[in-house]
Structure 1
Amino acid sequence: MKNQMTNQKGFTLIELIIVIVILGILAVTAAPRFIDLQTDARAQTLEGVKAALQGSSQLVYAKAAIAGVQSSATAVNVTVNGAAVSTVNGYPNAAVITSAANVVPFLDLSTGDFAVINVDTTLAAGEFIIAFAGETATNNCYVRYVNAGANAAPGITTVATGC
């Protein structure tokens, strides 16, 4: 009898175990990045709210400029989408914005998903924040609006360190 060696093709058990171990290490390393998607989504949602607030503030300013009250340092109302919006220096007046319903005329904001806060120990006069419903400024996950100064646009910033 001739003893023929047959060529076997495939992986040995050791090779399969090594591949499984390497895949396990990769999964453990990559999993936290994919688990943290909610934080990224919340931060990006705030960036969207910030951009919408900047755009809508410019729209209110344009309405104030048309009415000739863009330089008024005292509160003046302009009509936006059929509703009166209080302005200072042509931009929305943070002092009168006390709830999400107050920003709906110039910012299409879901009042069920977001809260507007302007009375908080961390906020100065002429500021408000837009946060996710049920959160406060201490959560550090919000958009901050600071009234416009003379010849300056309002300060609109995002704080997402606590998202």
Structure 2
Amino acid sequence: MRPRSSARLLTIPLLLAPAMLPAQGLAPGRWDVKSTGVELVIPGVPAFMVRMMQGKSKTENKCVLPADARSGVATLMAPKPEARCSVERAVVANGRVDHVMLCPQKKGGGAPMRITRVGTYTPAGFALRMTMTGTTPKGPLRIVADQVATHAGPKCK
């Protein structure tokens, strides 16, 4: 019995160790970031359309070059340059993500949209809860989505 108990005690630190490691590089190639709508408050959009979108998923393909892969999971959260977003906070460490950015509205005018992401990551990808809030000309907007990133292959399309 004693060896069995010792084995259990030894297993616990081994299971916890991956979450305690600092950010690691990613595999280069194609990554899929799947976003699934959880809560949608979109002013000006009919309620039946919002209900149709809730629970639906959209997948964005990202190409991670070998030079960018060394930056780890933060590479997958970097905004596209044309979005002109500014990163307010980016803490990606010890298996946890706390990321906030501000993005201007597409049609100009109004305060920027605030996008927060919190969750966990490993070298295999991430699982985050994304919340976008802001005010549009038609009223307050709030979109909550679960995001999961997975490596889809060594080559980009």
More helix by share: 1
Higher relative contact order (CA 8 A, sep 6+): 2
- TM-score, scaled to structure 1: 0.29
- TM-score, scaled to structure 2: 0.30
